[in-house]
Amino acid sequence: MAISTALWSFALVVGLLTLTPGLDTALILRTSALGRRRRAWGVVLGIQTGTLLWGALTSLGVTALLTASHLAYTALRWIGAAYLIWMAARMLRDTFRGQPTPDTDDAVLAAGTDSLVGGWRQGTLTNLLNPKVGAFYVAVLPQFIPPGTSHFATGLLLTTVHILIGLLWSAVLIGFARVLHGWLRKPRARRLLDRITGTVIGIFGIRLALGD
């Protein structure tokens, strides 16, 4: 397999994966739709930082060891699940209490400040605490590395393709979410969005805990 063929083939696979609605989509849409554009881009950059780290670790063979270790994989899965369920519970709790989204800049999804750093931290944690991302890279990335090429350099190149596609799709999501910003100024609309997003995140957390 030539390197150019590998790049296009990998781009097709991760492109379809990126377009599939999931946790990253929910995070980006919700943050941007509330008018926190800097924080939304922070979330995007954090997610892509996590992707870069997973790709680099896979290219070095580290994530293969994690996947091979049932105990390590299970521990990371439970930590990630607990983190997602905690975020969802905080968001849903505040909407049913009728409270506005808190303005503290912590790692929860509901953080109210338009902070690039806060968003980056949130996106990075969410990505790195999802062992399924690492498992995906362990299973898929080596298949697209042509024989005779540098495993690490080619792995990083393929990961860069994934990151670029993710950035382009995130720009589309953020642009679309801006359309919803006016509607979301209404407290009822914000509560509805938080309940939908919180439910989606909670479902992902439960599925991760169950190993689905």
Q: Higher model confidence: residue 52 or residue 16?
A: 52
Confidence band for 2, pLDDT divided at 50, 70 and 90: confident
Confidence band for 101, pLDDT divided at 50, 70 and 90: very low
Exposure string of 62-83, with b = 16+ CB inside 10 Å and e = fewer, is ebbebbeeeeebeebbeebbeb
Q: What is the mean pLDDT of residues 80-94?
A: 79
Exposure string of 8-37, with b = 16+ CB inside 10 Å and e = fewer, is eebbebbbeebeeeebbbbbbbbbbbbbbb
Question: Which tokens hold the place of 120?
Answer: 């980056």
Confidence band for 205, pLDDT divided at 50, 70 and 90: confident
Q: What is the per-residue pLDDT for 164?
A: 97
Question: Which tokens hold the place of 20?
Answer: 């599939």
Q: Position of tokens 């589309």?
A: 172
Mean of pLDDT over the chain: 80
Name the 3-class secondary structure at 161.
Answer: helix
C-beta separation of 109 from 122 below 8 A? yes
Distance CA 56, CA 79 (A): 22
User: What are the sequence ranges of the domains in the chain?
Assistant: 37-210
C-beta separation of 18 from 165 below 8 A? yes
CB contact set of 70 (below 8 Å; sequence gap of 6+): none
How many other CB atoms sit within 10 Å of the CB of residue 89?
Answer: 15
Distance CA 95, CA 200 (A): 15
Q: What is the mean pLDDT of residues 24-52?
A: 89
Q: Position of tokens 């849409």?
A: 29
